[in-house]
Structure 1
Amino acid sequence: MQDVDRTDRMILGILQREGRITNLALAERVGLSPAAASERMRRLLKEGWVTGFGARLDTRRLGFGLLVFVEVLLDKTTPDVFDRFAAAVNRAPEVLECHMVAGGFDYLLKTRVRDMAAYRRFLSDVLLSLPGVRETRTYAVMEEVKSDGPLPL
């Protein structure tokens, strides 16, 4: 896979912020012909530099107003427990992100639910029944200061 140059980085930066930009507008912004911009876009997509496009939705209007981060400590740290936990957490729609981390706990989860009552149900019905979970720590978000920030290209 080839590296990206300055123009590719400009294209990637614009796409992070404006995924629906037209090819003509993109070409004008980076100083290329529409054909050259289109070819670079095809290459960036084909080589996996761009992993997808999507819309940012209003979580509150859709009934998912509470953002909660959860530290998860497992009872054992073996490949089998990791695999079973990962498989189970991938089936939980409330979990938006799950990261294995180094430090005082094993996983950091980013979850979205309607409200604190819904989180309480999720905690008892789903989270605490995940394979290997020994302990959790919950951090309810009071204010989202910055989220979904673009990469500093």
Structure 2
Amino acid sequence: MRALDDIDRKIIAAVQSDGRMTTHELAERVGLSPSPCARRLRLLEDAGVIKGYTAIIDQTKVGLPVSAFASIKLERQREEDLDRFAKAVALWPEVADCYLMTGQRDYLLRIVVKDLKAYEQFLKDKLTRLDGVASIETSFALGQVKRSEALPLR
């Protein structure tokens, strides 16, 4: 992948703010004609810089108002234990985000559910049944101050 230039950054910033705009609208916004703009966009997609396009859904309006943040400590941090945990978590739709962490905990998960009972069920049916989990500490979000998928490119 070649280094990103100013036009690439403009394209990325534009599609981060509105992934549904047409190629013509994108071209106007970044100061290119449509054909070169489409080619650059395709190169960014092919290189994996732009991984896909998605809608941002209001989790409360679809009946999933609770965000729980679970800090997970594993019994051991061997590669096979980390891989097993990551593969299991990848299959659970309630887990919106999962990060491998430094520090006292091994993973941080954002779990999205409809209520506390649903979180309890998630814990009992999935998280506590996974081999190798030593401890789980959960905090619940009271409100969302900021959420963004847009990266600060400059």
- The verdict on a shared fold, with TM-score over 0.5 as the criterion, is yes
CA distance in 2, matches of 1:119, 1:125: 10
Letter in 2 for 1:73: K
Counterpart residue number, 2:37: 37
- 1:3-152 to 2 correspondence within 5 Å? 3-152=3-152
Q: How many angstroms does 1:61 deviate by?
A: 2.0
| Kept in 2: contact 1:88–1:131 (CA 8 A) | no
Q: How many angstroms does 1:149 deviate by?
A: 4.1
Letter in 2 for 1:91: L
Q: How many angstroms does 1:81 deviate by?
A: 1.2
Q: How many angstroms does 1:148 deviate by?
A: 2.2
CA distance in 2, matches of 1:93, 1:28: 38
SS in 2 for 1:24: helix
CA distance in 1, matches of 2:79, 2:35: 48
Q: How many angstroms does 1:128 deviate by?
A: 1.0
CA distance in 2, matches of 1:145, 1:138: 19
CA distance in 2, matches of 1:87, 1:149: 23
CA distance in 2, matches of 1:37, 1:135: 50
Q: How many angstroms does 1:100 deviate by?
A: 0.9
SS in 2 for 1:7: helix
CA distance in 2, matches of 1:78, 1:47: 32
CA distance in 2, matches of 1:128, 1:148: 30
Q: How many angstroms does 1:63 deviate by?
A: 1.5
Runs of 4+, deviation exceeding 4 Å: none
**Where does the alignment leave 5 or more consecutive residues of structure 1 unmatched?**
none
RMSD of aligned Cα (Å)? 1.0
Report how many aligned residue pairs link the two structures. Answer: 153
Letter in 2 for 1:2: R
Q: Over residues 36-70 of structure 1, what are the superposed CA-to-partner deviations in whole Å (9 max), with x where a residue is unaligned? A: 11111111111111000011112112111101110
**Where does the alignment leave 5 or more consecutive residues of structure 2 unmatched?**
none
Q: Over residues 81-109 of structure 1, what are the superposed CA-to-partner deviations in whole Å (9 max), with x where a residue is unaligned? A: 11211121112111111111110111001
Alignment of 1:2 onto 2:5: no
SS in 1 for 2:63: coil
SS in 1 for 2:108: strand
Q: What TM-score comes out, normalization by structure 2 length?
A: 0.95
